[in-house]
Amino acid sequence: MLISTILSDKGNMVETIPDTATLLDAAHVLDQKRIGAIVAVDSKGDLCGVISERDIVRRFASNAEKTVNMTVAQAMTRGVITASPREDVDTCLGRMTDRRIRHLPVIEKGNLLGIISIGDLVKHKINAVLAEAEAMEAYIRSG
């Protein structure tokens, strides 16, 4: 299954936050939207990083007093690892496992098309296995 199919199923809504926003702002968005990561964008609206719950917690643990007013740009993960809509689920699962990341922005020709989480990919893998098992069961019953 291709990443484009997953985006079609889940939608391509991507929560973004300016890299100049504070970590407190980012924490509020994460909480309100019930998500684990936000794509950070620069003043031109281009992807420049990802800020996750984990990034915020680590900053808070090392210096709680300054974390609230720290900017997203100061704490975000740069050099974001991305996916193409033409890649398959297994390739992206492998990349996420190897890099120990949970979210992949999906990019094509420099445009942000959506974001996938490891949970999205696992859900689709499980559904595929269940569908295959049901098909095999139906085949066995009919024969």
Q: What is the pLDDT of residues 78-108, one digit of tens each?
A: 999 999 999 999 999 999 999 999 999 999 9
Condensed to tens digits (0 to 9), the pLDDT of residues 34-50 reads 999 999 999 998 999 99
Q: Which residues contact 67 (CB under 8 A, 6 or more apart)?
A: 23, 56, 59, 60, 75
Radius of gyration of the chain (CA): 18
- Mean pLDDT for the stretch of residues 13-34: 95
What is the model's pLDDT at position 49?
96
Structural domain total, the chain: 1
Specify the CATH number for the domain of residue 128.
Answer: 3.10.580.10
What is the model's pLDDT at position 67?
87
What is the model's pLDDT at position 128?
84
pLDDT at 143 over 80: no
What is the model's pLDDT at position 65?
86
pLDDT at 115 over 80: yes
What is the model's pLDDT at position 51?
96
11/114 Cα distance (integer angstroms): 8
- Residue written as tokens 């492998």? 94
Average pLDDT, the chain: 92
Full residue range of the structural domain in which residue 26 is found: 3-142
Determine contact, residues 107/92, Cβ cutoff 8 Å. no
Taking CB atoms within 8 Å and a gap of at least 24, the contacts of 42-46 are 42/18, 43/18, 45/16, 46/110
What is the model's pLDDT at position 66?
86
What is the model's pLDDT at position 133?
86
